[in-house]
């Protein structure tokens, strides 16, 4: 996956949803979970920018929905942190 800027300078992520074969191991999770956590945090920052823009444009209902998405994404980040703690404990 890579981030590329759109015409407004916001990041757009191009995802490669490749299939993984074999068993997942702790070493892979040690790489994967921090990557996913950062990816989620990047999305939160982008969503905050989009929320401000929707407020400025008068789309308050959409801004409210983006605020909810941001809050849910923060809860997701908490769970990534918990997963990282478990990985550290197992490692």
The per-residue DSSP string of 45-82 comes to HHHHHHHHHHHHTT-HHHHHHHHHHHHHHHHHHHHHHH
Give the Cβ contact number of residue 83 at 10 Å.
Answer: 16
Look up the pTM and report it: 0.74
Which sequence spans correspond to the domains of the chain? 24-90
Segment 4-51, tens digit of pLDDT: 777 777 666 565 555 556 789 999 999 999 999 999 999 999 999 999
């Amino acid at each position: 996956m890579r981030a590329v800027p759109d015409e407004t300078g916001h990041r757009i992520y191009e995802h490669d949803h490749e299939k993984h074969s074999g068993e997942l191991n702790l070493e892979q999770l040690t790489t994967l979970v921090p990557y996913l956590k950062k990816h989620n945090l990047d999305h939160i920052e982008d969503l905050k920018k989009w929320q401000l823009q929707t407020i400025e444009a008068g789309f308050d209902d959409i801004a409210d929905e983006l605020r909810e998405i941001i809050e849910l994404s923060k809860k997701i980040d908490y769970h990534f942190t918990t997963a990282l703690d478990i990985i550290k404990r197992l490692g």
